[in-house]
Amino acid sequence: MGAKIARGGMATVYEATDLRLDRPVAIKVMPHALADNEEFSQRFVREARAAARLTHPNVVAVYDQGDDDGTLFLAMEYVAGRVTLRDVIRADAPLAPGRALALFEEILKAIAAAHESGIIHRDVKPENVLIDPRGRVKVADFGLARAISSATTATATAGVLMGTVSYIAPELVTEGRSDARSDVYALGVLLFELLTGHKPHTGDSPIQVAYKHVHDDVPAPSAMVDGIPPYLDAFVARATARQRDLRPADAHVMLQQLRRVRHALDHGVVNDEELTSDLTPTVAVGTAPGDGWAYDDVFDLLTDDEGVPSQDASQPPPASEDEVFDVA
């Protein structure tokens, strides 16, 4: 085991060497408290096995999982350099549409491969996208959010919500259930951030941000950045529709739509009315199952019977937007 290379809300990652095969690996170590949870341990093994079967150039490979004297770990492909998409956003965003879509397509190919294999990521965010020095894009942490949720009773009604809140789909807040379209929503939010340099919804606490995902539409990128064609606005709007039925059915469908968008953009098309119409959600985006939900409704769903975080629901405590829900 070598140096610590990353730490998230629910795991620590170390550089290490596979002595049998003499290759560098990354070891993700889970907290001891989770290892003591039998349900988590069983699901961790199942999710690790499923992730290990997922082989794709844009996916961080899972080599092994195990339990070392009560410490659960995952052995994964080591991505040299370990620059994350978050680093790129901080340094360069807003990205030109062409560059943003080129990066995004690599991410989308990874999620599409997972969806075709029946795997939902459940925690799509820039921190889980790695880029090596040669520019190759790799998506990490498939299935771990689901395994962790089993140990933390991660349903909306239980008061704990998994997945980073800035990228959380509305149905995860209101129903605590996810499917491929929940990943699509997170992907749409991620693309919005690449194009604008900003998250679409912000607030003083995770609960405020979750409320906005339920109550407010993601703005058009062109409202914040010049040079975004209408069909790219429509592509983002469809992916981030609050009604999941209006989104692409999965990342594979979204990938086909993206290639149409990239083709138009690469050929200098400023306004393709047919493409824009095809991508625009067919029902007014301003209506969604979450409409009519009060802030207190979302607060009640995201807190336990004791009201944790304990305070007046109308004045949530100052906190970083992602603090409560970051599971990486």
Of 107, 140, 162, the closest CA to residue 27 belongs to 140
Are 204 and 295 contained in the same domain? yes
b/e per residue 91-116 (b: at least 16 CB within 10 A): eebbbebeebbebbbbbbbbbbbbbe
Q: Which among 77, 100, 118 is the end of a domain? A: 77
Considering the domain architecture, whether residues 52 and 69 belong to the same structural domain is answered as yes
Same-domain status, 264 and 136: yes
> Are 92 and 216 within one domain?
yes
Q: Answer yes or no: do 25 and 138 share one domain.
A: no
Question: Residues 13, 92: one domain?
Answer: no
Domain-embedded: residue 164: yes
Q: How many residues does the chain have?
A: 328
Residues 60 and 135 in one domain: no
Tell me if 311 is assigned to some domain.
Answer: no
Position 317 in a domain: no
Residues with catalytic function: 123
Domain end among 41, 58, 77: 77
Residue 21 sits in a domain whose CATH number is 3.30.200.20
- pLDDT per residue as tens, the chain (328 positions): 888 887 765 678 889 998 888 899 999 888 777 767 777 777 777 778 888 889 999 999 999 888 887 788 889 999 988 799 999 999 999 999 999 999 999 999 999 999 999 889 989 999 999 999 999 999 998 866 554 444 444 433 333 344 589 999 999 989 888 899 999 999 999 999 999 999 999 998 888 999 999 999 999 999 999 999 999 999 999 999 999 999 999 999 999 999 999 999 999 999 999 999 999 998 655 555 555 555 555 555 555 444 444 333 333 333 344 433 333 3
Q: Is the residue at 327 inside a domain?
A: no
Whether residue 213 is found in the same domain as residue 135: yes
Q: Shortest CA distance to 231 belongs to which of 261, 197, 266, 209?
A: 261
45 and 102 belong to one structural domain: no
Instruction: Name the strand (E) or helix (H) holding 72.
Output: strand 71-77
Contact assessment for residue 49 and residue 37, using Cβ atoms and an 8 Å cutoff:
no
On whether both 195 and 55 belong to a single domain, the answer is no
* Domains of the chain: total: 2
Same domain, 177 and 281: yes
**What pLDDT does residue 128 have?**
92
Residue numbers of the domain that contains 56: 4-77
